Chain A
Amino acid sequence: MATLFVSTLRALVREKALFIWSLIFPLIMATMFMFLFVTIDDMTDYDPVPTGVVADEAWDESPFSGVAAALGEVGDDQLLVLRSFADEEEAREALIAGEVAGVLSVNGEGEPVLAVAPGVKINPTADGDAINRSILESVVATYGRDADLMRAIAEADPRAFADPARLAEAFDGSAVTEEVALTHGAPKQSVRFYYALFAMAALFGAQIAVCAVCWTQPNLSPLGARRALGAIGRTRTLAATLAACWLLSFGCLVVAFLYTRFVVGVDFAGREGWCVVGLAGAALVACALGTALGSLPKIDFGSKTGILTGVVCLLSLFTGLYGEPCMALADTVARDFPLLSSLNPAKAICDVFYSLYYYDGLDVFAGNMVVLGAFAVALFALSALFMRRQRYASL
């Protein structure tokens, strides 16, 4: 059986055409994505908020002007871009014209005031204006809260101002607030394309199994007929053959993964090891898909390859691989037809990567691996229906 495995693996490795879709394709696509998506993640980065300032006497005398100036200093953590106006009317015109997201001023009591354009509303699918307004509101509110705190300290324990460390501790906020990340990895638009690419590449790896299964079936090739006359049972023959197919599919995916991780620089949220486990599951599904297709009777290898290409392209459509409209379509299908979406092995492979990237724990990942296993079992069972015969009415 070891000889069957090694010989099959050797024969498959030397069948160069198999590597076009299984290996060359994902490498080329990953490289193309690298150049195409060089700016896509930057688009989701935060931009400083253009903010108008009514630079009158009250502003100059208010400590808030110093805070605003600090927030407007050019640097990596610049929050605001300040633009000074001589009076409120001038600032208001700029606000209505959309030149600034909001206008900061100081009222007669020395308190900061935020003016935003009328009709702007904050909603859950926040657009840029809403986010900017939210930021400005937060700046004003935080300043007000800290000013109240200062006043309270001054009244209760004026000596505290003599100890800068205590003051710093009071305003640090870490004792009472906690930064919580909603996702394990920082959300990035581009990773979705790479995950969809892995799903497509994995399923294209099914071609390896299609080829190998054709080599084992008497009704599909003279080689299959010759092998069926040997003194080794079909189960052992298939086990050795499919093990070789799986290993080769897995190997191709790992090479593509390493390239994507270390050359293209795609972020896998520090879970590269688990990603490789996921690739092993994806290769198993590919192997099962290839076995099912390969075992179809009365269809030659070329036609089966064509069918596989069509099926994989169709399934990949619903992973969003082909761009924004397809992503919207994929999301719509996933939301409105969850059962249909769950029948897509390409989507299941993508979900394995999502679960590693976005979820803190591994429970969801484990669940998705079980789904991949279920796909593999179902496809192998389908194959068994076609391959159950040991003798044929005709060859």
Chain B
Amino acid sequence: MDDISTTAPADSATSPAPVAPTAPTAAPAAAADSIVAVDNLVKRYGDVVALDHFNLTIAPGEIFGLLGPNGSGKTTAINCILQLLTFDKGAIRLFGAPMTPTRYDLKRKIGVVPQNVALFDELTVRENIDFFCALYVDDRRERARLVGEAIEFVGLGDYTGFRPRKLSGGLLRRLNIACGIAHKPQLAFFDEPTVAVDPQSRAAILEGIRAMNERGCTVVYTSHYMEEVEEICSRIMIMDRGRAVAVGTNGELKAMVGAGERIMVEVAGLSPAVRERLAALPHVRRVTYSEPELAVQCEQGARNVADVLAVLAAEGCAPGRVYAEPPTLNDVFLEITGKELRD
């Protein structure tokens, strides 16, 4: 695929200066009122810096998204927050109190849905949920009620006697979620819960997370699927190489980099000269062409489509289907880091 980028400094005089990594915006709640407060966290794996002075503040009631490519430090951050991993520097407070490995009172309020499905293969669906619920709830009767509600919540009522190996990938993920949230936590961490999940299960999972949040549970949601994060998160942090490169609402992030829509045109046999003319348009940031699909990334503006079509018409190109996509978080990530979110 040809790519004429206007974000690289030397590419074009028409392109704007590269967007510098934006400082995370202030959290909506002061650290003292926050449910999660991470201050200056540094985590190294030998010479590799996994978390580089990482800061995070999450207010009660949020669905907070951690978005970043694989290896950006999302899971490491969660494991440090939950005291599973040691870290080199920094401080972590949950529910306003310092978090340590033996703060079982704090752990009791936390639910975790790990990235890797972590279940007993030998126990049934109900037995698995009961086991993990028992890590937080001693009372048997209370637990039976919670397990029943969790089964209903994730829609596994027809599978309670099944063992995990009999479940599909989507159902397995749902069971993983049920095990993490059966005890009705006040704070829940979802680490890539929809990896390798069918669309139907994914929709059910996202709907369930929303429902949990409406009931008062604060959610920390990590993913490299920007669509999911955009869909459910009230605030989003974009991470790259262990650093928080931007924080804000979906709208704030997109406004931050001034990205406009992406114009998609189906056109055959587009010459490099035409692509250069398109790239030279004042509001165009990037042009890519993979025959027959032309993608023109624009800044915010009113005449973007008209100008692009005018160039094509002047060059004698007959466009087929034409449509415009609104800017995505991938565009934001691209602007800030100079690479695709899924690179």
Given contacts A11-B120, A228-B84, A391-B83, could you give 11 more A-B pairs where the C-beta distance is less than 8 Å?
A3-B143, A4-B131, A223-B120, A225-B118, A229-B82, A229-B84, A230-B107, A231-B105, A231-B135, A391-B85, A391-B101
Contact A230 B136 (CB under 8 A): yes
Which B-chain residue is minimally distant from A226 (CB atoms)?
B118
Contact B135 A11 (CB under 8 A): no
A14 proximal to B (CB < 8 A):
yes
Contact B127 A10 (CB under 8 A): yes
Count of chain B residues with a beta carbon within 8 Å of a chain A beta carbon: 33
> Please, could you name 24 A-B residue pairs with CB atoms under 8 Å apart, sorted by A?
A3-B143, A7-B123, A7-B127, A7-B130, A11-B120, A11-B122, A11-B123, A222-B114, A222-B116, A222-B118, A223-B118, A225-B118, A227-B118, A229-B82, A230-B107, A230-B135, A230-B136, A231-B135, A390-B83, A391-B84, A391-B101, A392-B84, A392-B86, A394-B85
A15 proximal to B (CB < 8 A):
yes
A-side interface residues toward B, CB under 8 Å? 3-4, 7, 10-12, 14-15, 215, 218, 221-223, 225-233, 390-395
Contact B131 A225 (CB under 8 A): no
Which B-chain residue is minimally distant from A225 (CB atoms)?
B84
Alpha-carbon distance between A154 and B2 when the two chains are bound, in angstroms: 132
Residues of A within 8 A of B179 (CB): 226
B162 proximal to A (CB < 8 A):
no
Known: A229-B107, A391-B84, A395-B84. A7 touches B131 (CB 8 A): yes
Residues of B within 8 A of A231 (CB): 104-105, 107-108, 135-136
Closest chain A CB from B278 CB (angstroms): 47
Contact B84 A233 (CB under 8 A): no
Partner of B86, one of A3, A15, A222, A393: A393
B22 proximal to A (CB < 8 A):
no
B-side interface residues toward A, CB under 8 Å? 45, 79, 82-86, 101-102, 104-105, 107-108, 110, 112, 114, 116-120, 122-123, 127, 130-132, 134-136, 140, 143, 179
Residues of B within 8 A of A215 (CB): 120
Closest chain A CB from B88 CB (angstroms): 10
Contact B45 A394 (CB under 8 A): yes
Alpha-carbon distance between A220 and B122 when the two chains are bound, in angstroms: 18
Closest chain A CB from B332 CB (angstroms): 30
Alpha-carbon distance between A14 and B165 when the two chains are bound, in angstroms: 13
Which B-chain residue is minimally distant from A237 (CB atoms)?
B135
Contact B119 A218 (CB under 8 A): no
Alpha-carbon distance between A10 and B136 when the two chains are bound, in angstroms: 20
| Most A-side CB within 10 Å, residue of B45, B112, B131, B179 | B131
Contact B131 A3 (CB under 8 A): yes
Which B-chain residue is minimally distant from A12 (CB atoms)?
B122
Known: A7-B120, A7-B130, A11-B120. A226 touches B114 (CB 8 A): yes
